[in-house]
Amino acid sequence: MNENRSAKSSETSKSKTIQVLIVEDHTIVRQGLIALLSTAQEIKIVNDLADGLSAIDYLQTHTHSIDVLVCDLALPGLSGIEVIERASALDIKCVALSMHHDPIWVQRALSAGASGYLLKGSGVHDLIHSIKVIYEGELFLSPSIRAAAESQTLTMREREVLTFVAQGHTSREISGLLKISSRTVEHHRARLMSKLKINDIAGLTRYAIRQGLVDPHAK
């Protein structure tokens, strides 16, 4: 991470303001997003744009003033997937906004670098929550598509490793339990963090608890 980005992150942390860029081609939807996000004191809308090409131009010249991109997948000019790929390469977190429930679309967005996938029928709570969650470094999926999308995102072995990690087992212990090498365990853990956009063990543990993979009250 470069010095400018680090300085911006430090300032944002102190002010507790998440700076958001909206890219949505339908005016009424875009205005609705602006109105909804304006109700959250911790969120500041830095700009709103209506097409992919304008978004790319803005990203290139305002990289260090954007924390989160909220981007429709169906855009004129360049697709939302292409915009998300560019934003992700610039270390900007992204929420994909879509009407598609199909897990294939979810996977395409996540593969492009999105940390969140929000259905257009979602409520204001989910919209604001998605931005906060991905800003903190975790993955957000609309509740109605979460189970189907994640079942395709994680392999059975990754789910097993995730469960043992969340239970507090070391890589060596997991290696013995699953009869695989410690290096393979580390590979699966790295893949989990990459897929789920989670950067530490505590985040993986919280995720596993939310998914019902482990009981937080179990001894």
Do 57 and 31 form a contact (C-beta atoms < 8 A)?
Answer: no
**Per-residue pLDDT, 150:** 56
Domain hosting residue 51, numbered range? 3-150
Looking at 99, 125, 150, the residue that finishes a domain is: 150
In angstroms, the CA 125 to CA 116 distance is 14
How many structural domains does the chain have?
A: 2
Tell me: do 111 and 182 sit in the same domain.
Answer: no
Tell me: do 121 and 49 sit in the same domain.
Answer: yes
Which stretch of DSSP H or E encloses residue 132?
helix 124-135
**pLDDT single digits (tens) 130-185:** 999 999 988 899 887 775 555 556 777 888 999 999 999 999 999 999 999 999 99
pLDDT > 90? residue 13: no
Looking at 125, 150, 175, the residue that finishes a domain is: 150
Residue 73: both structure tokens together:
């997948």
Tell me: do 143 and 199 sit in the same domain.
Answer: no
Has residue 217 been placed in a domain?
Answer: no
> In what order do the strands lie in the sheet containing 68-72?
43-49, 18-23, 68-72, 93-98, 116-119, 140-141
Looking at 112, 135, 150, the residue that finishes a domain is: 150
- For range 52-81, the mean pLDDT: 94
**pLDDT single digits (tens) 127-140:** 999 999 999 988 89
CATH number, domain containing residue 175: 1.10.10.10
Whether the model pTM is above 0.85 = no
Has residue 219 been placed in a domain?
Answer: no
